[in-house]
Amino acid sequence: MLLTIRNLTKSFPGMRALDAVDFDLAAGEVHALLGENGAGKSTLIKCLTGAYRRDAGRIALEGAEITPHSTVEAQDLGIGTVYQEVNLLPNLTVAQNLMFGREPRRFGLIDGRAMRAEARAMLADYGIEIDVDRDLGSYSVAIRQIIAIARAVALSGKVLILDEPTASLDAREVGMVFEVVRRLRDRGLGIIFVSHFLDQVFDLCDRITVLRNGRRIVTERIADLDRVKLIEHMLGRALEDEVEHRATRVPRARPDLLHFEGVGRRGMVEPFDLTVGKGEVVGLAGLLGSGRTETAELMFGLHPAQGGQVRDADGPLALTSPRAAIAAGFGFAPEDRKTDGIVAELSIRENIALALQARRGWARPIPRTEQNRMADDYIRQLDIRTSGREKPIGELSGGNQQKAVLARWLAMNPRFLILDEPTRGIDVGAHAEILRLIRRLTAEGMSVLVVSSELDELIAVSDRVIVLRDRRHVAELQGTRISPETIMRAIAGEVA
């Protein structure tokens, strides 16, 4: 075995994040690490990379016990990590990012030419040919991720850890990154892959290990495991029935809530008309870059629209800024909730109350009992895994932080809530919870706009689906016309 972990244990005040976990990684395999939000995946990885010190247990690399005290030390030992948020420097060139800290020198000075040549050679190894003199920031997330992988492998070279690397990539980009991962596997690296996308796990991985509540539940070859069984291992119970598809029902007549007329902005999205009914879920489908997020941002006043108007039953609304949109009863949970949404040092309760407090004005503080009630309600409804509402939100697992940010917007009780990728990074169990929650809220009269790359989810939740292509709204589907085929055909340009 390349890497052997025995009895790994790690506690935080009041909770045991890892409880006597065993894990093996062979050279030349991709091993998936799966489990619900808060199961302990990131904690295990942080113990491996020296970000956390383990309380007990043994980690051996090629037979020798190791105890890395920092990520640099882990790298020197041969363990490299790439996170979802690429931690490279966008303002430096590709070559500088790749060679940072180990630049080739001549007469004591950095040898720019040698550096560029080496950077090019490194990327050629991965089948990538790009201008290494350009700033890293000018390349797509996928390319940046591959560059991060190339750097991690060059620095470490035995074990590569990928913690939710594909969360913000589209299908083609995922393919590119996987191509690189397979090459590295074939070269004999051991790769640990953390993801909530089961399709990707089945596509890429050789073995899986499931964690639940800090314990190892099972390790198995992927060929010996079916999907339902796998999900049951993750949840610790049988999978509940899928949320009933709304679209199979006859479209309901609803009072109109909002009319968007000729709203658009050059370079972002062409002017579109859209009427949102009260209690309706409108889904936005399309490929990455088709203008979905831009449509959502325009609706929320994040960018001023050029021309057109938005009105409700009382007349035109001036959505010139997010502040104005919030005042008009809009809410927007953006795709990048981790960086956009949370204040890590504040408690879960404070994070949930934050936006509501801002809207009321700081002169009228929300009574503490009210804050407590709100926080407890949402912790229960969204199944936020925590030992209590006073925990700093930064100590929650990634997926649970996202749920807390969603709770913040729900607490505002908006009449129109825009959700950009509401279930990204959220595990299968909580996924169904969130779809159910959207249904309940809309039954109570809230209108919701959902942007999602997951067709199944979009179909399950939407009354109406708008399809975008090349920054244009190209189709609007309702009722039984909503199906994976019709949406895919509209994306491909077959129906108008």
Ligand X SMILES: Nc1ncnc2c1ncn2[C@@H]1O[C@H](COP(=O)(O)OP(=O)(O)OP(=O)(O)O)[C@@H](O)[C@H]1O
CB 44 within 8 A of CB 211: yes
Spatial CB neighbours of 238, under 8 Å, sequence gap ≥ 6: 232
Q: Does 195 bind Mg ion (CB under 5 A)?
A: no
The entry of ligand X, Mg ion, none near residue 37 (CB within 5 to 8 angstroms by kind) is ligand X
The entry of Mg ion, ligand X, none near residue 422 (CB within 5 to 8 angstroms by kind) is none
Whole-number Å distance between alpha carbons of 32 and 202: 9
Whole-number Å distance between alpha carbons of 292 and 283: 10
Task: Specify the residue, 48 or 466, whose C-beta has the smaller distance to ligand X.
Answer: 48
C-alpha Rg value of the chain to the nearest Å: 24
Number of residues that bind ligand X (CB under 6 A): 19
Question: Hey, which residues between 25 and 84 contact ligand X (CB under 6 A)?
Answer: 35, 37-43
Min separation Cβ 130 and ligand X, Å: 31
The half-sphere exposure of 304 on its side-chain side, counting CA atoms within 13 A, is 4
Q: Which span (117-125, 232-240, 376-384, 391-399) binds ligand X, by CB under 6 A? A: 391-399
Whole-number Å distance between alpha carbons of 459 and 283: 8
Min separation Cβ 250 and ligand X, Å: 38
Task: Specify the residue, 265 or 385, whose C-beta has the smaller distance to ligand X.
Answer: 385
Min separation Cβ 392 and ligand X, Å: 8
Task: Specify the residue, 15 or 27, whose C-beta has the smaller distance to ligand X.
Answer: 15
Number of residues that bind Mg ion (CB under 5 A): 2
Whole-number Å distance between alpha carbons of 319 and 317: 6
Question: Residue 75 region, left (φ>0) first, then alpha (ψ -120 to 50), else beta?
Answer: alpha
Q: Does 398 bind Mg ion (CB under 5 A)?
A: yes
- For the four alpha carbons of 359, 360, 366 and 372, in that order, the dihedral sign comes to negative
The entry of Mg ion, ligand X, none near residue 341 (CB within 5 to 8 angstroms by kind) is none
Of the candidates 96, 156, 347, 400, which one interacts with ligand X according to CB under 6 A? 400
The entry of ligand X, Mg ion, none near residue 39 (CB within 5 to 8 angstroms by kind) is ligand X
Question: Hey, which residues between 38 and 67 contact Mg ion (CB under 5 A)?
Answer: 42
Whole-number Å distance between alpha carbons of 418 and 79: 40
Min separation Cβ 472 and Mg ion, Å: 37
Question: Hey, which residues between 6 and 25 contact ligand X (CB under 6 A)?
Answer: 12, 15, 17
CB 260 within 8 A of CB 316: no
Spatial CB neighbours of 171, under 8 Å, sequence gap ≥ 6: none
Task: Specify the residue, 82 or 143, whose C-beta has the smaller distance to ligand X.
Answer: 82
Q: Does 398 bind ligand X (CB under 6 A)?
A: yes
Question: Residue 121: helix, strand or coil by DSSP?
Answer: helix
CB 152 within 8 A of CB 80: yes
Min separation Cβ 11 and ligand X, Å: 9
Tokens describing residue 195: 């993801």
Binding mask 420-449 for ligand X (x = CB under 6 A): -------x----------------------
Task: Give me the DSSP letters along 307-342.
Answer: S-EEEETTEEE---SHHHHHHTTEEEE-S-HHHHH-
Min separation Cβ 368 and ligand X, Å: 23
Min separation Cβ 55 and ligand X, Å: 13
Whole-number Å distance between alpha carbons of 371 and 262: 40
Task: Specify the residue, 80 or 398, whose C-beta has the smaller distance to Mg ion.
Answer: 398
CB 381 within 8 A of CB 437: yes
Min separation Cβ 35 and ligand X, Å: 5
Min separation Cβ 259 and Mg ion, Å: 41
Whole-number Å distance between alpha carbons of 178 and 438: 33
Task: Specify the residue, 19 or 377, whose C-beta has the smaller distance to ligand X.
Answer: 19
Tell me, what DSSP letter sits at residue 81? E
Of the candidates 116, 185, 292, 385, which one interacts with ligand X according to CB under 6 A? 385
Tell me, what DSSP letter sits at residue 395? G
Task: Specify the residue, 201 or 325, whose C-beta has the smaller distance to ligand X.
Answer: 201
Q: Which span (36-44, 230-238, 317-325, 350-358) binds Mg ion, by CB under 5 A? A: 36-44
Tokens describing residue 26: 């062979």
Min separation Cβ 385 and ligand X, Å: 5
The entry of ligand X, Mg ion, none near residue 190 (CB within 5 to 8 angstroms by kind) is none
The half-sphere exposure of 35 on its side-chain side, counting CA atoms within 13 A, is 25
Closest CA to 471 of 250, 246, 270, 227: 270
Tell me, what DSSP letter sits at residue 242? P
The half-sphere exposure of 125 on its side-chain side, counting CA atoms within 13 A, is 19
Of the candidates 264, 331, 341, 399, which one interacts with ligand X according to CB under 6 A? 399
Of the candidates 96, 371, 397, 452, which one interacts with ligand X according to CB under 6 A? 397
Whole-number Å distance between alpha carbons of 43 and 258: 45
Task: Specify the residue, 44 or 467, whose C-beta has the smaller distance to Mg ion.
Answer: 44
Task: Specify the residue, 93 or 166, whose C-beta has the smaller distance to ligand X.
Answer: 166
Min separation Cβ 43 and Mg ion, Å: 8
Min separation Cβ 45 and Mg ion, Å: 8
Spatial CB neighbours of 294, under 8 Å, sequence gap ≥ 6: 265, 268, 269, 303, 471
Footprint of Mg ion on this chain (CB under 5 A)? 42, 398
Footprint of ligand X on this chain (CB under 6 A)? 12, 15, 17, 35, 37-43, 385, 395-400, 427
